[in-house]
């Protein structure tokens, strides 16, 4: 749910459009293009805005053999990651689960305007919701081949909370939040199902503690802003019920000279290319 300042603008600019003319009457929404213009998403002009992290998260999803590809995007916001999955992979069925009703409503609008209503649905619901509440939404435990998330990146006790309510909820959660998200993602993933998370690189110890209890075959892909710079983000992929050991892959570099994306990053951001070869099988 969280993203660096400017990431959405960079990802949208690479796609060839940003802040397109279509906005709502009071000007609170922008119309941002992703995946080379293949996906157009309404987002709030101020407050929380999804960007590069969500696209990279979506790129880590890939089909496994002939199995059905059922994807749950947890904390989906306006649906960026899940809709990128649906646009990239025409066999995917995607559920977008978002706590805030306003964002869930925007996600539903984004589904409709991108003609993905046959394979994608949005719903308002929270991490850790009761079984009965999830069933009322049409969500069953252990029913998804992939569960993906871009959880809030910060601890509410570690700094000033953003004044915008939606932005505050997207950027920060309490100290045991990752544990709750990992528990919920494991609950929703089927046996041998895959969980994928994008998060801050310095949160890797907490990620491993929360997810390592529930997923095996954990693969870590560091995301570096530039060659020679420390990773700012990590993508972590795990398999429910696997006992395979942890692996750390060679890092992925996002930017070359200046602010230009590397050719490898452009392939993902503009053309919807996959990250799976870099994440391993």
Residue 211's CATH number: 3.40.50.150
- Residue 23 within any structural domain of the chain: no
Helices (H) and strands (E) counted in the chain, each on its own, are: 10, 13
CA distance 232 to 32: 24
- Residue 2 within any structural domain of the chain: no
Q: Tell me, what's the pLDDT at 63?
A: 86
Asked if 81 and 57 count as a contact pair (C-beta separation under 8 A), the reply is yes
Q: Tokens 């979506």 sit at which residue?
A: 58
- Residue 54 within any structural domain of the chain: yes
Q: Tell me, what's the pLDDT at 102?
A: 94
CA distance 210 to 212: 6
- Residue 15 within any structural domain of the chain: no
CA 23 from chain center: how many Å? 24
Q: Tokens 């919807």 sit at which residue?
A: 272
- Residue 44 within any structural domain of the chain: no
Q: Tell me, what's the pLDDT at 176?
A: 78
CA distance 94 to 71: 5
- Residue 245 within any structural domain of the chain: yes
Asked if 196 and 215 count as a contact pair (C-beta separation under 8 A), the reply is no
Asked if 43 and 32 count as a contact pair (C-beta separation under 8 A), the reply is yes
How confident is the prediction along the chain (281 residues), in pLDDT tens digits per residue? 334 334 554 555 454 333 334 444 447 899 999 999 999 999 998 877 888 999 999 999 998 776 789 999 999 999 999 999 999 999 999 999 999 999 999 999 999 999 999 999 999 999 988 889 999 999 999 999 999 999 998 664 445 454 554 544 444 454 578 999 999 999 999 999 999 999 999 999 999 999 999 999 999 999 999 999 999 999 999 999 999 999 999 999 999 988 899 999 999 999 999 997 777 65
- Residue 234 within any structural domain of the chain: yes
Q: Tell me, what's the pLDDT at 179?
A: 94
Q: Tell me, what's the pLDDT at 20?
A: 38
What is the count of structural domains for the chain?
1
CA distance 124 to 62: 26
- Residue 21 within any structural domain of the chain: no
Domain containing residue 120:
50-279
């Amino acid at each position: 749910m969280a993203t660096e300042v400017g990431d959405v603008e960079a990802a949208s600019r690479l796609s060839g459009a940003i802040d397109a003319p279509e906005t709502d009457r009071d000007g609170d929404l922008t119309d941002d293009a992703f995946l080379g213009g293949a996906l157009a998403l309404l987002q709030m002009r101020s407050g929380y805005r999804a960007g590069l992290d969500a696209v990279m998260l979506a790129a880590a999803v890939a089909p496994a053999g002939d199995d059905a590809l059922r994807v749950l995007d947890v904390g989906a916001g306006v649906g960026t990651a899940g809709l990128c999955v649906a646009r990239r992979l025409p066999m995917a069925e995607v559920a977008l689960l978002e706590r805030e009703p306003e964002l869930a409503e925007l996600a539903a609008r984004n589904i409709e305007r991108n003609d993905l209503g046959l394979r994608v649905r949005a719903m308002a619901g929270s991490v850790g919701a009761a079984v009965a509440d999830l069933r009322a939404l049409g969500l069953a435990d252990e029913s998804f081949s992939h569960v993906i998330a871009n959880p809030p990146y910060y601890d509410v006790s570690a700094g000033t909370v953003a004044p915008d309510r939606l932005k505050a909820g997207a950027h920060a959660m309490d100290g045991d939040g990752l544990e709750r998200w990992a528990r919920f993602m494991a609950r929703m993933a089927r046996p041998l199902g895959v969980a994928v998370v994008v998060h801050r690189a310095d949160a890797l110890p907490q990620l491993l503690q929360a997810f390592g209890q529930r997923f095996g075959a954990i693969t870590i892909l560091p995301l570096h802003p530039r060659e020679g710079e420390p990773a700012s983000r990590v993508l972590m992929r795990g398999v429910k019920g696997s006992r395979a050991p942890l692996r750390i892959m060679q890092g992925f570099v996002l930017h070359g000279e200046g602010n230009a994306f590397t050719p490898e990053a452009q392939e993902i951001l503009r053309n919807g290319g996959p990250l799976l070869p870099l994440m391993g099988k």
